[in-house]
Every structure is written in structure tokens, then in C-alpha cells.
Chain A
Amino acid sequence: MTLYAVTFYVLAAIVVLSTLLAIIQRQVIHAVVYLIVSFFATGLLFYLLGAPFLAALEVIIYAGAIMVLFLFIVMTVRAESGEDKGEIYQWLPAVILGIISLFVGGVLIFEIPGSKTGLSTGMATPSAFGQFLFKNYWFPVEIASFLLLIGLVGALYLGRRESRKGSEDRR
């Protein structure tokens, strides 16, 4: 039980717990807050597993951008009308299936040869990672940027305020 291991388990506990809390919140805004915690912890896990650049990105994009976006939306739409009553039958099938999957997945994972061998520490410096990325994956990166652009355009298109005439036509 090294210090690394202790750190990992602590962080894992935080991640699981905060995610669990997030998904059972009735208010979306609470869920988002819990999730930010979860993502921070995940970022730390990334750091622990030798991906400092990704850890930074995790914090910036997930915990920062995405969650903030959620917050904005929650505040914009303000409509919690159709929110769940939290009845048990609603959760039951999903939970049962999840537990089965978890069991099967766990069995599968520990049947993999080498799954019990420990991970030794390592670190990919951001510069090394950057060089690797643009050496081997320059084209997918471009594609990804293109994807983001399209996402942007799509979001703009969907979110634009409809002219009154158009909306009347649609009704």
C-alpha cells in the first residue's frame, strides 16, 4: 500500500461518491455542483496516472466549460416542471441491470491476464504529449477541431431566436 495507492483509493472514493450523489439529486443544479467535484477528482486521478496535460484539460473543459454550460442552461430554462418524483420503480430496472453489468464486467476485468499487475508510475510531460500528438495524430486533431466548429455552428443554429413569422407558421 504505497502512498500512490492510498491517494488513488481516496480519490476513487470521492469520485464514486460525488457521482452517486449527483445522479440522485432532484435538482439539476445540485447535481451539477456534485459533478464538478467528481470531475476535479477525476482530474487528479489523471494526474496520478501520468497524464498531467489531460488532468488540466479535464478541469478546464469538464469541470469548467461543460459544467458551467449546464449551469447556464439550467438557469435559462428554469423549467423543472417535468421533474421526477423519485419513485423506486423508476430506478429499479436500471439499478438491477447496472449491478448485473458491474458483476459481469468485474469478472471479465479480473479474468484479463495482467489485470492484477500493478501500474508503475510514469509521466507524459505536456510537451512530449504535444509532440506525439502532432506527429502521429495531426489529422484527427484537425478533424476534431472541425467537429468542434460544426458543434458551434449547430448550437448557434438551434439556439437562434426564431423570427415571429416563422414561429407562427409552425404553429
Chain B
Amino acid sequence: MINNFPWLTTIIFLPLAGSFLALFFARRPMFCRWTSLWVSLADLFLVAWLFTSNLQRHSWSTGKWLLAEDHPWIESLGIRYSLGLDGISLMLIFLTTFLTVLCILVSWKEINAKVGTFHFFLLFLETSIMGVFLATDLFLFYLFWEIQIIPMFFLIGIWGHEERVYATVKFILFTLAGSLFMLIALTGLYLIHGAKTSLYTFSLYQLIQTPLGFSTELWLYGAFLLAFAIKIPIFPVHTWLPDAHTQAPTAGSVILAGLLLKTGAYALLRFGFPLFPVAARFSVPLLLALGLIGLFYAAWIALAQKDLKRLVAYSSVGHMGIVVIGIAVWNTMTLSGATLQMINHGLTTSALFILVGMLDERVHTREIANFGGFWKKMPGFSAFFLFFAMASLGLPGLNNFVGEFLVLVGTIKTWPLVTWFGFAGLVLTVIYILTVVQKTVFEETRNEKFREQPLADITVREVLILAPLALAVLFIGLHPQPVLDLFEGPVGVLIGFLK
């Protein structure tokens, strides 16, 4: 049964159906919230069920698609509707559905205007992101890749904070500019492949075999890399991210940091490197340098931030730097580590954004200077904050450590110097995270206005949001093997492409 029913399509489009439901009943906010919650929960359980049932049925290590769908779509152009699920994408869609449920819970109180539309965009976004993670046809991938920008644009633009218009325009300009180049390269690749083999197709596994000259490959790869680099984001093109994160509503930040950035890294992993192996290898030193710069630079800048959300945003740049390093080195350990780090970053950074959102709800400010002494006022909140901050700085036993460690130790076989610098960069991470923990949780605020403000500790709903995240963080930190086993097969296949 599991192989005949179009499970992947169901998973992708179930939220879309839910989103329209939310849109139609936009006049009844509570109904919208509950509907969206149930739909997203259903999707989560579907993925979880797939996870468990596949775990018994298949051996993960083969690296073949666990589930695949392939139908002709626009035949005259050789475009097919083809989806494929392997261990990496399984974990990522698991993360996607998981975070979407949390986002809906997070927005329960925060979003009060245009509730139906909000949930419409949220679920729509979920569909498009899962599409990116599952598509194996380049055209389909590009379609989902572009679509995901649209709901994000509105999420920031309508429900964002004060400077949302600037942020959202910047976001869309950056991402669109990048993907424009990708479209050109994509078409170029398609035409070259068609001309050389007289088979016009967008299928990833056909296009991988395209014979390309070195300079052609370099140009095409450059265009792809630009699009992915903006999404990840890699150092010089990261400036849209702090603005977008800061201005987005909490759910928007969570999706942006937890999932949209992952699409960039995932695409680099799944498409960028396998499609253009020679050019990719050529770009490795560049990527490593940029990843390291991102790690240092972001951690350094984060220390000077005044807006807590902006700080978390910069921390994203640093963490994604490690992911980039892991992908660039391209061996079993670093790839597993980078993929795991994608998941980890999705969990911890989302949690931090959620926590900042809770603060914003209570204190109505995001200035670090106005925070302080929360341990006395909100012990539960502070405990969670400390926990996720520690996870973020890579305390062993929590999730980030495993990913970072795998990447950095795996790197030493080919790029020992990068390992040295990478470990050193982690110190800078410690510095800014400890500083912000001290300023928010421990020290009293210097701002008299906020000192005496009474604050309520986290509610049951908020515990329900944070506790699963905390459990996931602990689980990956202490027992990452099931997840790593999932990656083993696909990583082996990916490595095969670059031999």
C-alpha cells in the first residue's frame, strides 16, 4: 500500500487544502486557528507515520528513494512531476511539519489581524517548502523555490514590525535577483542537455550526466550558487537576513530561519554540487573561506547588537557558515554533520525566536537594554532560554554540538586549517551568547521603566510549544544515531556524484 498511494503528494498538498479552508472561513478567527492546527498536526502525524513505517520496511542504508512519484506534466517541454524522498528530505520535511505546528501555536495570541489570511499564507508556505525538499525535477523545484517567496513576502509585509516594508522589499529583491540567475542557468542547462543528447528534460538525474565544458559549467554553477548563497545566506549577501528576521512576526522568523534558509543549503547539497561537480570542486576554497568568514563575522557583529531578534538573526548566519563548510568539504562526516546541523539550527534558532517573540508579547520591546532579571520574574521562561542558548553555543549533549563536531572533525582530513579556525570561531559564539544570556536573564535592566514591570511566567500553551523543541534538542544531542543512520544512505549517494 505504501508504495502505491501518492503519499508525497498528499503530504505536500494537504496544507494547501487546509490553507484554503482557512481563507474561506477568514471571518471566524478561532475556527481558522483550530483548522490550521489540525491540518498541520495531521500532516505532522502523516510524516511521522511514514517515518516509523519506513523505518521497519526499508533498509536506510541503500540510499535509494524511499518513496518516489513520477508523472508526466508538461510533456512538450519534458517537464515531469517527480518527487523523491530519501533520508535527508525525510528529516527536513519532518522538521517542516513540526515547525509549522509550532508556528500556528505561537501565532495563537500574537496574530489578531486578518487571521484567516495569515494561516492561509502560513500553510501555503509549508506546502511550497516541502515541495522544494521533495522535488527531483528541476523545473518543479524551481517552481516551489519561487513560490515560497510569495507567502513569506506577505507574512513579513503585513504582520511584521515597524520597518516591515523596507525589510520585505529587501528580502524579495535579494531572493528574486538570485533565483533569476538560477532560472537562466537552469534553462541554459536544459538547452545544452537537449542539444547534446536530444533529450529535453528537467529531471535531476538526467541532467547530472550532462557533459559540460569547464567554463560553461563554471558559469552555470555560479548562477546556481548565487541563488543558493543568498538563501543560505553566505557572507557578503546576507544583509537581507537581519532586517527580514527582525521585522517578521515570530512565526515568520521561525519559518524563515528554521526552513527557508535550509532550502538554500539543501539545494546546494542536492542540486548545486551534483549537477556541476567540477565547478563545485573548484569553488570549495571560496566556500570554505566564506563559511569561516560568516562564522567569525556574524559572531562578532552579534555581540554589538541591541535588538535581541537581530542578534539571533546574526547567529543564524554564523551557524549556516558551519553548514556551508560541511557541504563544501563533501565527505561522509561533514555531509552528515552539515545536514544534521541544518536540522539542529532549525530547532534551536526557532526556539530562540519563539522565546524572543514571547518576550515581545510581554515587554513590548526587543531592545536588550530593556530586558533583565527575568530569572526572578519568569523562572520557567529563563530556564528555557538558558537551555536553548546553551544548545546554540554547542554544549555537548545538546544537538548543535553533534553537527558542529562532525563538520569540524570531518574537515580535518582535507582542510586541517579550517578545523583550527572553526574551533576558534566557536569561542566567539560563546562570547556573544553568554553576554546576551547575562543581559536578559540574569542582570537587572538599567532602564528604570522596565525594572518594576510585572511579568507573567510562561503559560501552558507556551510550554507546549517549547517542551517538544527541548525534547528534540536533547534527543539529537544524546542519541543522534537514528537521524544519522537516516543520512547515511543518501550521503553515500551524494558523495558518489563527486567522485
Find out whether A and B make contact in their complex, taking CB atoms under 8 A apart as touching: no
B residues near A (Cβ < 8 Å) are: none
A residues near B (Cβ < 8 Å) are: none
